Amino acid sequence: MKWLIVSDTHGMTREVADLKMRYKGKVEAFIHCGDSELDPEASEIQDYLTVEGNCDFPGAYPDESVQRLGPLKFLVAHGHLLDVRRSPAKLLYRGLEENVQVVCFGHTHVAETFKEAGVLFINPGSLRLPRNYREGTYVILDLEPGQKEIAVHYYNYSGRRVDQLSKTFDWYAE
């Protein structure tokens, strides 16, 4: 199974819609970690599980979302309310409180993936304003049935994989 994760698109409409069209029928879910700056009724953001970022209209989206998407339980939060620029600690505690396997977040515009206390953390970076890579990025999370590894593949907008950011982790189905 695959999941598409994107964040911090800051008003990009065509690109958000293009990703949806490119991966329609190929991913379990579309996840947007906030700062889309799109109206929740906009067709481009429809079908995305979206949370509110600090640049979104207040009350447009929930602050966070906990969802089971296929075999995995996700916490999706922008991260500004959990002080992710300072430390991932509050994000970790929220993930552990909700007993999730994957935490998706944004806000920092830094593409990063790490595993802590058995929880996988994914920040897909920013399509519009990346901070640690020269091009905007998004993620395809890949876990096939029976697989002993989970893969976090970063891509630039045109769909070229960014190997230097991509990682795999040991994974044990529960």
Q: Does the pLDDT of residue 12 top 60, yes or no?
A: yes
**Residue 98: per-residue pLDDT:** 98
- Which amino acid type is present at position 92? L
> Is the model's pTM score more than 0.85?
yes
Closest CA to 6 of 39, 63, 45, 59: 45
Q: Where are the domains of the chain?
A: 2-170
**CA 112, 80, 38, 67: dihedral to nearest 10 degrees?**
70
Burial bucket for residue 34 (CB in 10 Å: 0-12, 13-18, 19+): buried
Instruction: Say whether 81 sits in a helix, a strand or coil.
Output: helix
Task: Read off the tokens for 135.
Answer: 């091009």
**Residue 173: per-residue pLDDT:** 54
Q: Does the pLDDT of residue 119 top 70, yes or no?
A: yes
Q: Does the pLDDT of residue 116 top 60, yes or no?
A: yes
pLDDT tens for residues 29-74? 999 999 999 999 999 999 999 999 999 999 999 999 999 999 999 9
Distances (CA, A) of 97 to 1, 85, 88, 93, 118: 25, 20, 14, 6, 13
**Residue 75: per-residue pLDDT:** 98
In angstroms, the CA 114 to CA 65 distance is: 20
pLDDT tens for residues 97-115? 999 999 999 999 999 999 9
Superfamily name and number for 2-170:
Metallo-dependent phosphatases (3.60.21.10)
